[in-house]
């Protein structure tokens, strides 16, 4: 697929037939996954789409008013550092914008409901906390559970979708996504942030995840991703105290599982 980063495509970017089949077949594995419901899909988008998104991905110094995302935990340590975010659709290059629109489309969301078993999912056109993300050398994202309440729309956050965009990523760069147990006592899974890899998981008060080890990539690189979040009007699967705050965790020293 040949695409230009600054131009809109003349066709859909996602293969909805394949995605629908994958999601329907993957439902049982998703809901039974450890440590919380999730799935990992490699080569989720066409390599040409990945290349086009990367070609247009704004540099850290691009004049688009990147949000500088920093946070400190309860122990005074940095838990979010050297991270940039861009939730404003019309500052996002055309191909990436089209991809985000498709992730928020009713066609994709109906597929996502088959995977997760969560009905009546609602997209967030404001991309609160989402959109384009990149983490610069030395940066990190501490292990945390995300906010569960969208204060602007009074919606309950239910599902995270993370699409990674990092070609030729080396293990020594760190930046691996870690999924932790529901009591934050152990790291259950570590996932490389490989280009075209899509990770989807439930947003609960105890779905702890992050990449707490400082990024060691070369100075001219960053850890790039697209983040999309989905909501429902209330939730009745279990009691989750609505919060608009991120729940950062102080982690124990543990043995890490193998990389995947």
Residue 254 counted as domain residue = no
Residue 14 counted as domain residue = no
Residue 107 counted as domain residue = yes
Q: Are strands 223-232 and 122-123 parallel, antiparallel or unpaired?
A: antiparallel
Find out whether 164 and 224 touch, Cβ atoms under 8 Å: yes
Residue 9 has a pLDDT of 62
| pLDDT band for position 146 (cuts 50, 70, 90) | confident
Per-residue pLDDT tens digits for 186-240:
999 999 999 999 999 999 999 999 999 999 999 999 999 999 999 999 777 665 6
Paired with 153 in beta bridges are none
Identify the three-state secondary structure at position 18: helix
Residue range 240-250: mean pLDDT, rounded: 74
Q: What is the Cα–Cα distance from 143 to 256, expressed in whole angstroms?
A: 14
pTM: 0.93
Domain range for 50: 30-248
Cα–Cα distances (Å) from 60 to 129, 143, 169, in that order, read: 18, 24, 18
Residue 3 has a pLDDT of 59
> How many other C-beta atoms lie within 10 A of the C-beta of residue 150?
19
Q: What are the start-end ranges of the H helices in 57-187?
A: 94-103, 106-116
Find out whether 163 and 44 touch, Cβ atoms under 8 Å: yes
What percent of the chain is modeled with pLDDT above 90? Answer: 78
Residue 218 has a pLDDT of 97
Per-residue pLDDT tens digits for 158-172:
999 999 999 999 999
> Is residue 41's pLDDT more than 70?
yes
Identify the three-state secondary structure at position 47: helix
Residue 238 has a pLDDT of 61
Mark 174-187 as b/e (b = at least 16 C-beta within 10 Å): bbbbbbbeeebeeb
Region class of 44: left (phi > 0), else alpha (psi between -120 and 50), else beta:
alpha
Residue range 67-75: mean pLDDT, rounded: 84
Residue 205 counted as domain residue = yes
Residue 163 counted as domain residue = yes
Q: 253 burial class (0-12, 13-18, 19+ CB within 10 angstroms)?
A: exposed
CATH code, domain with 237: 2.60.120.620
Residue 21 has a pLDDT of 98
What percent of the chain is modeled with pLDDT above 70? Answer: 93
Residue 24 counted as domain residue = no
Residue 258 counted as domain residue = no
Residue 19 has a pLDDT of 98
| pLDDT band for position 244 (cuts 50, 70, 90) | low
Which of the 8 DSSP states describes residue 194? B
| From 65-69, 88-92, 140-144, 241-245, the region with the lowest mean pLDDT | 241-245
Instruction: Cite the beta strand spans of 46-97 per DSSP E.
Output: 67-72, 78-86
Residue 20 counted as domain residue = no
> What integer best gives the mean pLDDT of the chain?
92
Identify the three-state secondary structure at position 200: strand
Per-residue pLDDT tens digits for 81-129:
899 999 999 999 999 999 999 999 999 999 999 999 999 999 999 999 9
Residue range 128-133: mean pLDDT, rounded: 95
Residue 6 has a pLDDT of 54
Q: What is the Cα–Cα distance from 220 to 196, expressed in whole angstroms?
A: 20
Tally of domains within the chain: 1
| pLDDT band for position 135 (cuts 50, 70, 90) | very high
């Amino acid at each position: 697929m040949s695409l230009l980063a600054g131009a809109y495509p003349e066709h859909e970017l996602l293969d909805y037939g394949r995605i629908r089949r994958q999601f329907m077949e993957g439902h049982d594995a998703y809901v039974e996954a450890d440590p919380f419901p999730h799935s990992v899909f490699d080569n989720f988008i066409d390599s040409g789409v990945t290349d086009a998104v990367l070609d247009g991905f704004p540099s850290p110094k691009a004049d688009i008013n990147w949000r500088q995302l920093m946070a400190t935990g309860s122990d005074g340590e940095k838990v979010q550092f050297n991270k940039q975010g861009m939730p404003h659709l019309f500052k996002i290059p055309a191909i990436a914008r089209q991809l985000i629109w498709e992730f928020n489309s009713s066609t994709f969301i109906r597929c996502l409901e088959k995977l997760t078993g969560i009905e009546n999912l609602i997209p967030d056109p404001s991309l609160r906390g989402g959109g384009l993300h990149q983490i610069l050398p030395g940066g990190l994202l501490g292990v945390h559970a995300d906010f569960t309440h969208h204060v602007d729309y009074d919606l309950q956050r239910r599902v995270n979708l993370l699409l990674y965009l990092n070609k030729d990523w080396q293990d020594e760069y760190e930046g691996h996504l870690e999924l932790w147990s529901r009591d934050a006592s152990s790291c259950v899974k570590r996932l490389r942030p490989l280009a075209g890899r899509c990770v989807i998981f439930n947003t609960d008060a105890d779905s702890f995840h992050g990449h707490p080890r400082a990024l060691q990539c070369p100075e001219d690189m960053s850890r790039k991703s697209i983040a999309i979040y989905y909501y429902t009007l209330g939730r009745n699967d279990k009691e989750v105290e609505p919060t608009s705050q991120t729940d950062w965790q102080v982690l124990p020293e543990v043995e890490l599982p193998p990389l995947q």
